């Protein structure tokens, strides 16, 4: 699993710029992602799947076994997540999942960006 990163303090303006850049890269499909094999290892080892899409998106295309915590609510839910578990975040294409991964890591959790929900579904199918 990934090495623990040290959190760097950022101003609200820096956070906003980073979030916008991440979202744009995700929407363009240009966000660097770990290989599916790496994500599959995390899932096989028991990482918790966190779907950060909206409730409406999840209703249309659910992922079995995933916890749905929309990105806009993740900050409020961090205290309810176990500290000893690893997490695989995912969304539509990976942009929101990257932001969620960064939030989890900044709060002392191990996390990896699993990319889009279709990638997660393929991994889960291959492990069935």
Q: pLDDT exceeding 90 applies to what percent of the chain?
A: 70
Q: Whole-model pTM?
A: 0.80
**What is the tens place of the pLDDT at every residue in 18-53?**
767 776 766 666 778 899 999 999 999 999 999 999
Q: What does the alpha-carbon distance between residue 60 and residue 55 come to, in Å, rounded to a whole number? A: 9
Q: What does the alpha-carbon distance between residue 80 and residue 88 come to, in Å, rounded to a whole number? A: 16
Nearest in space to 80 (alpha carbons), one of 72, 69, 71? 69
Residue 11 has pLDDT above 90, yes or no: no
Residue 86 dihedral angles phi and psi, to the nearest 5°: -100, 155
Question: Residue 67 in contact with residue 50, Cβ under 8 Å?
Answer: yes
Confidence of residue 91 (pLDDT cuts 50, 70, 90): very high
> Which residue do the tokens 């806009």 mark?
72
């Amino acid at each position: 699993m990934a090495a623990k990163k040290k959190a760097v303090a950022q101003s609200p303006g820096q956070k906003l710029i980073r979030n916008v850049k991440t979202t744009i890269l995700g929407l363009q499909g240009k966000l660097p992602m770990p290989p599916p094999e790496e994500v599959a290892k995390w899932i096989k080892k028991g990482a918790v799947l966190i779907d950060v899409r909206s409730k409406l998106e999840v209703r249309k295309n659910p992922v079995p076994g995933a916890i749905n915590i929309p990105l806009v609510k993740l900050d409020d839910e961090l205290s309810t997540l176990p500290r000893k578990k690893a997490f695989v975040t995912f969304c539509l294409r990976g942009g929101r999942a990257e932001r969620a991964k960064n939030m989890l890591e900044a709060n002392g959790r191990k996390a990896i960006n699993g990319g889009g929900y279709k990638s997660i579904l393929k991994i889960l199918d291959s492990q069935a």
